[in-house]
Chains A and B, each alone.
Chain A
Amino acid sequence: MVTEKDIWEYLEEVSDPEIPVLSIVDLGVLRAVKLDDENCHVTITPTYSGCPAMKMIEVQIIEKLQEKGLKNVTVDLVLSPAWTTDWLSESGRNKLREYGIAPPENEVDKSVLFAEPTVVPCPKCHSKNTKMVSQFGSTACKAHYTCNDCLEPFDYFKCLK
């Protein structure tokens, strides 16, 4: 007999297509799982409004659960409460770092004009001597940084609260 807890475990195997080291559970995109009789109802939330990965995540969820023998799977997209980087799990933060992406520092980029950007340690050499190249990086959820010490360019998973 499959339980909701099992489903959460199955969905650990569904990853974010843009950051394949993170599962949708690590990322906090998976919000709820509800099981009654034959029907499985999954709720997800996007990181950013225009996140192009959501459709693919939905398809992957359905495929994964069908593979596990669940027949009627529905996926709902909710916007509220709005996703925040606080939902990124500790294991997710570690996976990001190992992958070469700096995890969110617990600080929103100040909306003050020309405020000093957040200090983000280099995921390769851990130096804090880094600089922000652009607030907008390779995907909506990332900013672009460079390490002044090891010269590595890297992505920073920017803080959203």
Chain B
Amino acid sequence: MNTLFEYTIRLADDSLILGHRMSEWCGHGPILEEDIALTNIALDLVGQATSFLAYAGETEGKKRDADALAFLRFDREYKNALLVEQPNGDFGMTMMRQFLFDAFRKPLFERLQHSSDKQLAAIAEKSLKETKYHLKHSSEWVIRLGDGTEESNGRIQDALNTLWRYTPDLFYADEVDQEMQQQGIAPDMAAVYADWNATVQHVFQEATIEIPSNNWKQTGGRKGLHSEHMGHILAELQYMQRAYPNMEW
């Protein structure tokens, strides 16, 4: 197995699939400003995915470019965490998913920008600046909704209850991570988790919402074992390339 390819694909697919999910909001935002914000975040994520996928293609050496990797793999070959493929639901669900993810990405990129792999470091350095804006936006919404009305509090609490089980998948680490860490390429996931945990505890306290006591966990994304939603995403994401191979704008 090409470990660097595998590691890079995991980073890429988190951005790609969440970017696609956020793009589904285009034209459906609750207010105009929020519609623009959600699609701006989608654009940043798709941009990050393009950088990671292009690099993954290079390390693989099979002449697959970012488009080939984005549009022409089968479901088991996508290695995103389960969290990012979960449906948008209501605005609270989307913001909770985004917050749980941004709170993970920021400490990850803070460390990855010092990676011994120069290109991954460069992509992380670039993406970190964008992620900081995303995290500020999503965490403020989680607090505003949690600490808002009875209705908004109930909705954001429901979102947390639904999504919490997918968070361990973000920190799933196997031989790929171990090898990358030994080479000084990947950061220590335990440290990333500690930062993530501090952020979510603080924000949930401000938002007056509670982490569910049910400890059921679901993992598998990094191995390509996805939830039932993945096939639907890919049907839409890949439609043009499957129907009209090699089509370009």
Contacts and interface: CB of A to CB of B under 8 A. Distances in A.
Interface string B110-140: 0000000011011101110110110111011
Contact of A136 (B125, B129, B137, B143): B137
Nearest to A49: B47
Nearest to B132: A111
Contacts of B203: 113
Contacts of A161: 129
Contacts of B125: 79-82
B58 to A, nearest CB: 13
Contacts of A69: none
Interface stretch (A10-18, A91-99, A137-145): A137-145
Nearest to A144: B33
B137 A79 contact: no
B121 A135 contact: no
A88 B207 CA distance: 38
A76 B115 CA distance: 22
Nearest to B32: A134
Interface string B86-114: 00000000000000000000000000000
B37 A136 contact: yes
Contacts of A78: 122
Contacts of B129: 82, 160-161
Contacts of A138: 36
Contacts of B51: 49, 79
Contacts of B139: 113
Contacts of A49: 44, 47-48, 50-51, 123, 126-127, 130
Contacts of B37: 134-136
Contacts of B145: none
B47 A135 contact: no
Interface of A: 46, 48-52, 78-83, 109, 111, 113-114, 133-138, 140, 144, 160-161
Given A111-B135, A135-B133, 10 more contacts: A48-B43, A49-B50, A49-B126, A80-B122, A80-B125, A82-B129, A113-B139, A113-B140, A114-B143, A138-B36
Interface of B: 33-34, 36-37, 40-41, 43-48, 50-51, 118-119, 121-123, 125-127, 129-130, 132-133, 135-137, 139-140, 143, 203, 206
Nearest 6 interchain pairs by C-beta: A50-B47, A49-B47, A80-B122, A136-B37, A134-B33, A50-B43
